Structure 1
Amino acid sequence: MFLVDSHCHLDGLDYESLHTGVDDVLDKAAQRDVGFVLAVSTTLPGYRAMRAQIGDRDNVAYTCGVHPLNLDGGYDYAQLRAFAAEPGVVALGETGLDYFYQQDNIPLQQSSFREHVRIGRELKKPVIVHTRDARADTLAILREEKADECGGVLHCFTEDRETAGALLDLGFYISFSGIVTFRNADALREAARFVPLDRMLIETDAPYLAPVPHRGKENQPAYVRDVAEYLAVLKGVDTARLAQQTSENFSRLFNISLPGM
């Protein structure tokens, strides 16, 4: 069995007391059949620092982007494009809109989101989208900027079945995190039953949102196995089948040949 953690902030884990280093984290993941990790950046300086920390590996790929909560007055779009064009970078993001935590900079959030999609189309790399309390604007910008031309994924999906359908119509993938295992996530589980297996990804969003039975602890790539096992039951398939399909989906979306598959 081969699993992929399709969204992890690998630079954000506790390397002081929980892990001895990146090798340790990836070894723990491999022991639970997690063979590949997508390391997601949220700022441009963070992207550079993350690559320096983790280095070039055959089981890690990178994204480059600026999270909507990390805009701090703006950044250099030319620098974003230059970094995103580097070898090893397979996607733009994470980008998107977050009106739950910030509403004083909505025009800037929207401009940044549009720029990520435009660069994604130019470089032929997909976008990784974050949305919170911004469903309508997120879908509108994806349509207006023709995000279907570069493709992408709505990561850590917490929306409803209707939103899932709109994203599927755009050709997007939908990624589920440990939230799907939470007790109060009935609407999310309904959406997960609706999303076809061939458009589904799985993720940890580590170090956040550890799934049951690890809830309350720091999340890590190894725990994507728990998400997979839970979703397999929800979808009525065995875990090996879900692992193979979601890994194939990841490979297709990000144009990555996965080692060991």
Structure 2
Amino acid sequence: MEIKYVDSHAHLDDDRFNDDRDELINSLKNNGIDLVLNPGADLKSSKNAVNIANKYKNIYAAIGCHPHDSKYMTYETIEIFKEYTKNEKVVGIGEIGLDYYYDNSDREVQKKWFREQIKLAKDVDLPYIVHDRDAHEDVYRIINEEHYDGTRGIIHCFSSSVEMAKEFIKLGFMISLGGPVTFKKAKTPKLVAKEIPLEYLLIETDSPYLTPVPYRGKRNEPSYVKYVAEEIAIIKNLPVEVVAEQTKENFKKLFKL
């Protein structure tokens, strides 16, 4: 039986797919990929993510503003995002959050629009996808302070500790692991993969970024999510079929698909 995977985070709207996007998406089924979630990073990419999702049955979209671009956010943008959520192929808000590694936007501005987009997720009753780079404590604090009945989502490409993962799970979140779990020296993601129960895990590529071994250094794509699943299977001493099936079920339950 062929194994089927879900890539819970891939930027198929990225310019690096401009030359072969349709060909790549059309080949997903043959490469064992059932579903892909394409999150937005700003207004333009959110619109593109929706257009791609509308075109392909097996692609879904999330809409939102990445912390890098939060300096461009306005309340008008929030209203446009809200309008997009009326589309049944839009299943989440994201990716949103904080990035203290690059600081492309002022940290206070990042925090403001992270909160406002969480409020949007509450308003439209959708899960939200969180970007957290070197901002673990503030991300947790804001999610905790903005917590509401129905809070749910994904901490994407998780890079914090096992203890922090458990705290996010208590708040209603799935923990998503990507290419770094396959990196030889990436001790923390491997420990998270070992310690966090499979029913709280998702797998992703973050295409075209963070390409897993054995293709590290090349453009990432959804079909490479199998290497993430295989690594988690090795770490957990489980058949890869079990990892693929459970992460697919986790994804479908979270997004009510």
TM bin, normalised by shorter chain, reads over 0.9
Greater than 4 Å deviation, 4+ residue runs: none
**Which residue of 1 is the match for residue 48 of structure 2?**
49
**Which residue of 1 is the match for residue 111 of structure 2?**
110
Q: Is the 8 A contact 2:208 2:219 kept in 1?
A: yes
Q: 2:16 aligns with which of 14, 17, 23?
A: 14
**Which residue of 2 is the match for residue 74 of structure 1?**
73
Opposite residue 250 of structure 2, the aligned amino acid is N
Q: Is the 8 A contact 2:97 2:132 kept in 1?
A: yes
**Deviates most, 24-33 or 170-179:** 24-33
**Which residue of 2 is the match for residue 29 of structure 1?**
28
- What is the alpha-carbon root mean square deviation over aligned residues? 1.7
Give the drift of 1:57.
Answer: 2.3
Give the drift of 1:32.
Answer: 2.8
Q: Give SS of 2:55's match.
A: coil
Opposite residue 207 of structure 1, the aligned amino acid is P
Unaligned runs of 5+ in 2: none
**Which residue of 2 is the match for residue 39 of structure 1?**
38
TM-score normalised according to structure 2 size: 0.93
Opposite residue 214 of structure 1, the aligned amino acid is Y
Aligned residues: 253
Say if 2:132 is the partner of 1:131.
Answer: yes
**Deviates most, 172-181 or 31-40:** 31-40
Q: Which has the higher contact order (CA 8 A, sep 6+)?
A: 1
Q: Give SS of 2:233's match.
A: helix
Q: Is the 8 A contact 1:204 1:224 kept in 2?
A: yes
Opposite residue 2 of structure 1, the aligned amino acid is K
| Partner deviation per Cα, 1:170-213 (whole Å, 9 max, x = no partner) | 12100000110011101221111111100100000000011000
Give the drift of 1:70.
Answer: 1.2
**Which residue of 2 is the match for residue 188 of structure 1?**
189
Opposite residue 65 of structure 1, the aligned amino acid is G
Task: Name the CA distance, whole Å, in 1 between partners of 2:5 and 2:15.
Answer: 20
Give the drift of 1:104.
Answer: 5.7
Task: Name the CA distance, whole Å, in 1 between partners of 2:216 and 2:7.
Answer: 17
Q: Is the 8 A contact 1:35 1:59 kept in 2?
A: yes
Give the drift of 1:248.
Answer: 0.2
**Which residue of 2 is the match for residue 168 of structure 1?**
169
